[in-house]
Amino acid sequence: MSRKKINKTEYGLDVIDINSKGLGVAKSKKGVVYFIKNTVPGDIVDIHAYKKRKGHFEAEPIKWLKRSSQRTKPTCEHFGLCGGCKLQHFSYDGQLNSKEKGVINNLKHIGKLKINKSLPIVGAENPFYYRNKMEFSFSNKRWLTTDEIKEDAIIEHRGLGFHKPGMWDKVVDINKCHLQANPSNEIRNAIRSYALEKKLAFFDHRQQSGFLRTLMIRNTLAGEIMVLIQFYKEDKEKRELLLNFIQNKFPEIISLMYCINSKGNDSIYDQKIYCHSGNEFITEYLDKLQFRITPKSFYQTNPKQAKILYDVAKSFAQLKSTDIVYDLYTGTGTIALYLAKYCAKVIGIESVSEAIDSAKLNAEINMIKNASFELGDMKDCFNDNFISRYGKADVVITDPPRNGMHKDVIKQLLKLEPKKIVYISCNSSTQARDLEFMKSKYEVVMSQAVDMFPQTHHVENIVLLKLNSNNE
């Protein structure tokens, strides 16, 4: 993307929207688009544009002519630095309205779709403390504020927090995060204090050296807590002292794990995980179902909203006891297992072996006999042979990653012609693109967004497709 530093002033711009980076969107009378820092819809501002990009200018306000009624004071002391909750200055009602409008616009303009019925977005009861998984990075080069640099004092450069946007080697040292319930903050701050006191080496992202690399904290609605420390190298004495400190300081942690990862990236999915104390998993409950969560497990990060999401999917599907259901991109089988009691059988497909193993285990734990899971790349295994083995689906649930469904998967769905398709998406742009390919045979009956990620631009959207009567 082209970028060019400029020096340009515009006066009296109305901020009409907010983009995916939390920047206000405005258009001049000449149709020039500006992305403006620290603004929300309803603001009227004079601006200084400092950078030109393809299709828009980046700008900052120099004078407020009117402050929006949707503007609110950010809750977090780190707002604007860590980059995690970019919409805290935007009222939650405003966030919901913007997300709902964005989803509908994408479906209509990208997908060129006619939506028979659009249901109101479902917001979160509490737009804070909703995440069940947080990952923090240790760094020997934390981000320093301008005030800190100006201070005539010895500065501690080590920090534990989130990577500064655009700076992969620096982290914003986090004192209090409002995304995960306590004792998450207490655990992180205690570990940092201990590490600083004992002079443990924080990770150097450029030199690929150090001792402490990452911290993961997972919890459940029932209050179970898992902590995983990722070390860059083994030092048994220091490792055991730290882990024993955590165990003694926070006896409520029921799963204390660690791994030694000396490779170039900090992904744990190809690493051996060790249990220092407690269980090797924590348990989440969804209605009467239980799901074992391991360090490598995928589970919806907002469990309260996940229940709502699955209920909307179930309502859209209107399953009958005789229905065969395919669950594409099943992950750990959460949706498949949740829907199993409402249909004859459900078959999940997933490309990650650990996820399939978890799905099969959770089916066994919950004594669900009519759920099967198959490992494989969707575009390769979702074929005629698969259909002949399991039977033709009456209903298909699909919940693909952000880049949407592969074109071969769409072709197979069109060939299969299930009566109903429930398409769940975390990216309504790629969802709209996929649905455009399918509108020759399917109509969009209903659409509803569910806000899984308050304070961010992300939103889940569910669409019900029904086979056109001339194709039945």
Question: Catalytic site residues?
Answer: 426
Ranges assigned E (strand) in 154-211: 159-164, 167-173
For residue 188, give the nearest of 213, 215, 221, 158 by alpha carbon.
215
Residue 147 exposed, middle or buried by CB count within 10 Å (0-12, 13-18, 19+):
exposed
Whether residue 106 contacts residue 431, with contact meaning beta carbons closer than 8 Å, is answered with yes
d(CA 212, CA 191): 10
Helical spans, DSSP H, in 106-138:
none
**Three-class SS of residue 373?**
strand
d(CA 463, CA 424): 7
For residue 454, give the nearest of 132, 131, 162 by alpha carbon.
131
d(CA 133, CA 303): 10
Nearest 5°: phi and psi at 45?
-140, 155
d(CA 440, CA 96): 31
For residue 294, give the nearest of 276, 313, 279, 309 by alpha carbon.
279
Those residues whose C-beta lies under 8 Å from the C-beta of residue 293, and which sit 6 or more positions away, are: 218, 220, 226, 281, 282, 283, 284, 299
d(CA 38, CA 64): 11
Take residue 342 and report the two structure tokens written for it: 């409402």
d(CA 187, CA 226): 11
d(CA 300, CA 206): 32
d(CA 173, CA 162): 7
Residue owning tokens 């711009």 = 13
Strand partners of residue 119: 448
Which of left, alpha, beta for 349 (phi over 0: left; psi -120 to 50: alpha)? beta
Peptide bond into 127 cis (omega under 30): no
How many of the other CB atoms lie within 10 Å of CB of 409? 21
Distance of CA 68 to the CA centre of its chain: 28
Q: How many CA atoms are closer than 13 Å to the CA of 144, on its beta-carbon side?
A: 14
Q: Give the type of residue at 253.
A: I
